[in-house]
Structure 1
């Protein structure tokens, strides 16, 4: 729901139906977590995923100057990877699942990446492994069947998304 709310705000769309669900990991983050961590790392840039529970509060904090506009960035995980590579900053406070810290550190060994909260670990993401993925693709196991009328409707936004990514 936080991601949907963020997209609606950024696009100005009023006709979005936002499902009242959330990622249990991202929902943990609160503005006070961010402010505390940024106080401990005053030179750090702040990268936050739009699914985090404090995105709306962070947008408000940005607009009223509580968070520095030049150091706070709302980004997808791919956006965090790209931004951290091009940024001259040496420290980053990261607000998303902590698994990304390893990837960011490998791509930028000269930079430090700090989790906004140490408990932002998703046990469900950790269940997905390369051997399990390979097994699924090789043996076509765990097939999900969707009724044709739902698949036809779902295909439209998926194809649109793929065409926009080209």
Structure 2
């Protein structure tokens, strides 16, 4: 069986170079495994800065502000129920394209300092959070969807050896 393919790029050379890309890969794979994703998938990750994520946020979400992470799912999935149809697989690669993740290295550093943990720990949380969005989870209100997503984030991070 093919494994998951992760495409990680930086908006410019050296951006977010302090971030552990191996940890990023590990967290994506941990989240996919914890959610029962047994089909080889592809995920694209862009590491940018506040200006870059602000531009993307403005273009795609009509929000003229930087944010920590953006998720752009390519499949219509239900939380906790990974059952995509066979038609979504890319015939050229044999992989299921799950979507794109955009991370702001600036926000990661700022939030890590504010929350009192490492930038890698902050990045790990944001990556798991974003993968869950790619898999259909949402948290737009304070109801059961948000509680379910937060519980899955905590469980996956604990399983990855990165508890709160």
TM-score under structure 1 normalisation? Answer: 0.27
Q: Which has the higher contact order (CA 8 A, sep 6+)?
A: 2
Structure with greater Cα Rg:
1
Higher strand share: 2
